[in-house]
Each structure stands twice: as structure tokens, then as C-alpha cells.
Structure 1
């Protein structure tokens, strides 16, 4: 039996990917595909995402800081890995400056305080925002993050 190589393994090095800032959030996009997107965020203490619901699963790893989902009462500190099942609804709140890697399947739907849908975020919209922030800062758009 002859083994054949499959497609090349996609790779990027974080040193080659720019950080951009959207207010109190630093953003680095590592990979975007049709169904999954991978981002690293640096959140400033006091930051809060709107309540949101995930259409797919999410894996996250905390490199530094302390954050939580307001609804759950559990602090996630450096070294914490979490998995959010599809359908999770929560409000990300940041207690200390935090550095978190997210692997997100699907999208998330944002809600206001009354529960009305206010927006949707997915890999495509995140990549468009990342590129726009790179352009605004005069940073060349990185290569190798699309799959």
C-alpha cells in the first residue's frame, strides 16, 4: 500500500500576524474557514461583550488575566481551557486584562438587555473587521489565515 500526502497543513506564526485594536479589545485573527474561525483577543479590564448565543461550539484557552461569563459565576484564569456547547448563551465580562484564544464554530448572535437581536458575528465579518483595522492602521493585510 502506498501512502499519499493529503493537502498541505496550513500554518501561521503569531509573530507574523498583526495585532489591531478595536477600542478596549486587541484582535489577532489566526484562521478563518467556512465553518470555523480562530482569534486571539486581549481584553482590557472592565470590558463586557453583549449577551450572545453561539450557533456552534467554542473552545477557549486563557493565556493571562481573569474573566467570566456573568451568568455562570466561574472565573477563568491563566491556564484555563473551556468548551462552550452550541446554543450557549452568556455575557463575557473581564475582571483583569486578559489574553484569550478562541476557536469558534459557526457564529454568535448578539442580544440587547431586552433580549432583542442586535447583531451577528461570524468568521467572515470578523475577518472583514480585522482587515479594515489593518488598513486603517497602515498595516499590510496578513496572508495565510484563510482556509
Structure 2
């Protein structure tokens, strides 16, 4: 029996992608497809994302630091891998400077203090923001992001 050859394995090395900053958040975009986006964030201690949910699941791996979801009271430290089920509502809070990889399926839906939708972020909007931050910092746009 012979094996069928498939498409080549896509790859990117993080050293080939610039880090850009949006205030207390460093961002590196590794992959964007119509249904999944992969980002690496470096958050400063004290930062908090707005309360939000995802339309799909999220996988995250913590390289360094300590963070939590305000609603759940569990600290995630270096070496922790998590999976968020679709639709879980939470508020990501950074306790110590943290470096986290996220694999996000679907969209990020943000809520204001009254529970109203205040924003929607997806892979395409994240990639556009990443490119805009590269442009603003005078950093050439990377060509190696996986699609």
C-alpha cells in the first residue's frame, strides 16, 4: 500500500515574525484562516481584557507569568495548557507579566459593563490590526504568517 501525499506542512518560526505593542499588550500573529487564528501575546501585569466569549473553542499555553479568569479563581502559570469551551464568558486578568499562545476558533465577542456587545474581533481583524501596528512602528510586514 502506498501513502498518498498531502499538502506540505506549513510552518513559521516565531523569530521571523515581529512583536508589536498595543499599549500593555505585545502581539505576534502566527496563523489566520477563515475559522482559526493563532496569536502569541505578552501581557503586562495588571492588564485586563474586557469580559468576552468566543464563538468557538480556545486553546492556550502559558510560557511564562501568571493569569486568571476573574470569574473562576484559578491561576494559570508557566507550563499550563487550557481549553475554553465555546460560549464561556470570562474576563482575562494578568497577575504577572505573561507570555501566552492562543489558538482561537471563531470570533471574540466583547461585552461592556452592562452586558451589551461592544465589539467583535476575528482573525481577519486581528491580522489587520497587527499589520497596522507594524506600519506604525516602522516594522516591515511579515510574509511568513500561515493562512
Q: Classify the secondary structure of the residue corresponding to 1:90.
A: coil
Q: Which residue pairs with 1:5 in the alignment? A: 5
Report if aligned partners of 1:67, 1:98 keep a CA contact under 8 Å in 2: yes
SS for the counterpart of 2:102 is strand
Structure-1 residue corresponding to 2:126: 126
Match of 1:43 in 2: 43
Other-structure match for 1:110? 110
Structure 1 stretches lacking a partner, 5+ long: none
Q: 1:68 offset after TM fit, Å?
A: 0.3
Q: Could you tell me which residue of structure 1 aligns to residue 80 of structure 2? A: 80
Alignment correspondent of 1:22: 22
Tell me, yes or no, if the aligned pair for 2:11 and 2:146 is still in contact at 8 Å: no
- After TM superposition, give the deviation of residue 144 of structure 1 in Å: 2.5
TM superposition shift of 1:138: 1.2
CA contact (8 A) 1:10 1:144 kept: no
SS at match of 2:125: helix
Aligned counterparts of 2:4 and 2:138: Cα–Cα separation in 1: 42
Query: Matches of 1:113 and 1:119 in 2, distance apart?
Result: 13
CA contact (8 A) 2:61 2:80 kept: yes
Per-residue Cα deviation, 1:89-127 (whole angstroms, up to 9, x for no partner): 100000100000000000110001110110001100000
Q: How many residues align?
A: 147
* CA deviation vs aligned residue, 1:33-80 (integer Å, no higher than 9, x gap): 110000000000000000001100000000000000000000000011
